Amino acid sequence: MSALMVNDTINFNGLKDLLGVTDGNLASHLKALEKENFIHIQKEFIDKKPNTKYSCTPAGRKAFKTHIDALEQLIKHRA
């Protein structure tokens, strides 16, 4: 999600390279995020090759911010 928070869109291979994960692992995580409506998926063809782009939805941005806020509170209470 953090990669989607700082990029308007990012494609599958870009995410895969950034995260260093397998196709299957990334696909399962993206499917879970899509199911929760945290990401938007846009499929297109570039030079007859499929290209899938992902972006963060408003619900995804809100959920990510809530998660980060919770982590910050945890850190503050541990210090």
Q: What CATH number corresponds to the domain at position 26? A: 1.10.10.10
Residue 24, exposed/middle/buried by CB under 10 A (0-12, 13-18, 19+)?
exposed
What is the value of pTM for the model shown?
Answer: 0.85
Task: Count the Cβ atoms, other than its own, within 10 Å of residue 50.
Answer: 9
Residue 64, C-beta contacts closer than 8 angstroms, at least 6 positions apart: 1, 2, 5, 38, 56
Kindly report, residue by residue over 29-44, the tens digit of the pLDDT. 999 999 999 999 999 9
pLDDT higher than threshold 80 for residue 11: yes
Q: Judge whether residue 79 has pLDDT over 80.
A: no
Split into its structural domains, the chain has a count of 1
Mean pLDDT value of segment 14-27: 95
**Would you state the pLDDT for residue 51?**
92
Range of 51's domain?
A: 2-78
Average pLDDT over residues 4-25: 95
Mean pLDDT on 12-39: 96
Cα–Cα dist 68/59, whole Å: 14
